[in-house]
Structure formats: C-alpha cells, structure tokens
Amino acid sequence: MISASPQKRLNRTTRLLLSADAHLGSPFSAVTKRNPELGTLLQQASLDSFTSIVDLALDEHVDALILAGDVFDSSTQDPKTREFFTTQMARLAEQNIPVIAIRGNHDALLGNDAYKEFGANVYLLHADSPSVEIGNIVFHGLSFDTDNPSASLLPQYPDPVAGRKNIGVMHTSVEKMPGYNTYAPCTLEELKSHGYDLWALGHVHADFIDTLGSVPVVMPGIPQPRKFEERLGGFAVLAELGEEAASFQCHQVGKIEFVECNVDLSGCADEREVTQALRDGLQSIQNPDRQVAVRLKASSWQHSSDWLTDLAMEELEGMERVHLDKAIVAPAQRPLGLLPTAPRDAAPTSPISA
C-alpha cells in the first residue's frame, strides 16, 4: 500500500469532491452529425465542466478529488486532451490536493503507467497498487483492465484498515441499473457490508446518493451530459465525513443541459400559427445561466421531422443559448375543419390521417 504524505494532514472532518465519467476527449459523434455547431459546443463544455470541478476542489479546499473511472472517453487521447488534464492536475498539486483515480470501461486500456506523467499528486489505483493512505484515510480502488468485465470486482478489494477511514472507489453497474451495460456488477448491500466508510462510484451517468444505514454510496453521474438520454447528469458531489455523520451536496458543473420541449401544432391553422407556437415553446426553455440543447417533440398531423427541423433551426438563429439537438414529430389527430398548411416554397400537402 502506498503511503502519501501531503504537506497538510486531513482534518477530523474530511472533505472530498466526488466525480466520475468526465469522458474527456469525447467526439460527441451522434450530436455532431445532426448539429455540428452543438457538437463543437459540447466538446468545449466537457472541458469547461471539468475545469469547474477543479475550481470547486480549490475553492472548497477539499482533502482529495476522486475520479471514479472513465476520466477519458477512450484509451487513446489526443495531445490537447492530455495537456488539458495535466494542466488541471498541476493546479491541484499547487494546493497539495491529491487526486484518486481509477480506469473505467472507456479508458480501461490506458495502462497503469500512463497517469504518472499527470503529476505526483495523481494516484491511479489498480490491481498491483489498490490502496493509498493519505492522512487518516485509506482509499481503495481497482481499475478495469478490460473494457467489459462481467464479474464483480468487490471480492478483490482489500479489507478495511483498522483505525482509519476507508473509502472505496469503483466503476460498476451497481444494482444492474437499466440502460447501462452490465460491467463489474454488484449490489448496494454487498458494497455496504464490505466494511468501508464510503463508496464513490462511477459508470451510471445519472447521480444518486444512498445514505441508508451507516455506509453512504454516491454516484455523482456524468459532469457534462453528452446526449439527451444523459440529461439527469451535470453534477459533482461534495462530501463531508465527520466522526459520526456524513453530508453531501450536489454542485452543478455542467455547462449545457439537455431538455425536452413539447409543442402541440395539431391545432395550428397556418404556418404563422405554427411558427408562433414553436417560438413560444423554444423561448420557454431558455436558461439565463446555461446553454440548452433542446429535444423538440411536436404533436402534428401533417408536418415532417425534416420540415420541423428546418423551421426550428431558422427560429433559433435569433435566440440566445438554445441549440437544437433533434426534432421529432409525434402523430396527432387532425382537428375537424382544419386544412393542411403548406410549408414555405412547397406545394400544398395532402391531409395525413392519424
């Protein structure tokens, strides 16, 4: 077990910042294909959200930053991504803040030695070096050595060290959460019975905090969502561990949020009414604090998704902080007495029955 000796000792109340699944270097391929401008914004937002995590660690004077896997989106990073990460680690090193990291399924093949160049304050936990002691805390973790581990890693985790606070760091499909590939699965009950004082998890991109019983289990989620299905992410979690109690605060670090905007166009008599309904809907989801990627879902009995996409993109040209992710048309019943409205520069369309 590595024993690290930063200049400051951890206090009786320990402050940790928990993060996971930064996916630095993600190309945002699916979004970029639909909307290149939004794809570019998301690539920058991914870096900016990680910078905010480091800012938060510095502002809160945390005792350690935990990165619970998938720090990088793949095991091959471009030089700019590596330089960015190295720079952020150096900022933490200047304030003697250690970083505890493990590899997940995305960066599983990065290798045990790759993190050494990121700074002496960065500790990658893996099978050959699963624990590091810093102050009065022992951090335990195992990195993925394959991108699809099917068996639980929990039996390989070291026993807790007596007389110390023990923190477990794991990338896992805890409780086999739906919508996520089943990697290194385990249950909350199994984690809590291992004898550690806290578990910091990665892999699931939606945040959750389980404080039932005496062993909290925290999944901070993805800091910058990459797609609409990850819209519940966007956070890092500040943990305070006292002698008898623990508290947790979710901090917003995401720069672009994904939202759904539902617009009913079924009762619109002409294109002017369609445009106004669309404009009202898009304006309603503007956020003064963050950029918004909108999944537009319209109820219509005659309009196509392509036509709606073109109209929405035109409306968004003059609207700040809102960007189209995708437009979807849901079939609706045509109201009696309404005739179909023709798209501009197009021949009248025939009514479409629901």
Q: Delimit the domains of the chain by residue range.
A: 2-252, 256-331
- Alpha-carbon 229 to chain mean position: 11
Structure confidence at residue 324 (pLDDT): 97
Residues of the chain with pLDDT under 70: 2-12, 176, 332-354
Distance CA 59, CA 190 (A): 35
Structure confidence at residue 243 (pLDDT): 82
Q: Are 20 and 244 in contact (CB under 8 A)?
A: no
2-252 CATH fold: Purple Acid Phosphatase; chain A, domain 2 (3.60.21)
Q: Are 128 and 102 in contact (CB under 8 A)?
A: no
Cross-sheet strand order for the sheet of 14-19:
122-124, 99-102, 64-68, 14-19, 235-241, 246-252
Give the burial class of 280: count Cβ atoms within 10 A of its Cβ; 0-12 exposed, 13-18 middle, 19 or more buried. Answer: exposed
Tokens encoding 58: 């510095």
Q: In this structure, what DSSP letter does residue 229 have?
A: G
What does each C-alpha distance from 318 to 42, 225, 323 come to in angstroms? Answer: 20, 25, 11
278 contact partners, CB below 8 Å, separation of at least 6: 263, 265, 296, 298, 308, 311, 312, 315
Structure confidence at residue 113 (pLDDT): 84
Structure confidence at residue 241 (pLDDT): 93
Structure confidence at residue 333 (pLDDT): 62
120 contact partners, CB below 8 Å, separation of at least 6: 93
Structure confidence at residue 342 (pLDDT): 53
- Give me the count of residues in the chain: 354
Tokens encoding 147: 């991108």
Which of 43, 17, 190, 164 is CA-nearest to residue 97? 17
Distance CA 156, CA 141 (A): 9
Q: Are 223 and 192 in contact (CB under 8 A)?
A: no
- Beta strand ranges found along 146-220 (DSSP E): 165-171, 198-202, 208-210, 217-219
